[in-house]
Amino acid sequence: MTSPYRVCFVCTGNICRSPVAESVFRARLTEAGLDTLVQVDSAGTGGWHEGDGADPRAAAVLEAHGYDSDHTARQFQASWFAHLDLVVALDTGHLRDLRSLAPTPADAAKVRLLRSYDPAVPSTGDLDVPDPYYGDRAGFEECLEMVEAASEGLLITVRTAIEEAA
């Protein structure tokens, strides 16, 4: 494989859910020895927080669980589709927004919901990671749990894609 596999996690403002997902998945890749083969980042559907760090509550929950919390928010751009292999939406609103932003049907097909990779969630179940922004720390803990649960399935999918491309 000549170029790395590229994954971008996307939520609303890129300060809560997507930085948590980025940090957790980066740790899973390192544990699996795939960190040199996969590039991970995150973005928001909107640019309200561009240049900001992660929400302090998200950073605190990440750090409490041993994850890196270094982050700078940015807004997702349609031009990025050309360089990404997988765009992971944190809820169905992001999925819809990203697919409508996609320049081609092939790009739209790159967009998936994070919780669709959690084997414990039925395909007919709620696949949204709830936005913890307006709540307390418990919402950020719940977000982390959902992200961790889906990250194992996502890792399997990414590993398979890398092996097939090799």
Residue 131 falls in the annotated catalytic set? yes
Q: Where are the alpha helices (DSSP H) in 65-136?
A: 92-101, 105-108
Extract the tokens encoding 55: 């929400």
CA distances from 98 to 12, 74, 104, 115, 157 (A): 11, 15, 11, 16, 20
Mark whether 99 is an active-site residue: no
DSSP symbol at 111: E
Choose, from 35, 68, 85, 131, the residue flagged as catalytic.
131
Q: Which of 8, 17, 91, 143 is catalytic?
A: 17
Helix (H, G, I), strand (E, B) or coil at 26: helix
**CA 155 centroid distance within chain:** 12
As a whole number of angstroms, the distance between CA 81 and CA 89 comes to 13
Selecting among 11, 28, 57, 128, the annotated active-site residue is 11
Q: Which residue has the tokens 């940090």?
A: 23
Q: Which residues are catalytic?
A: 11, 17, 131
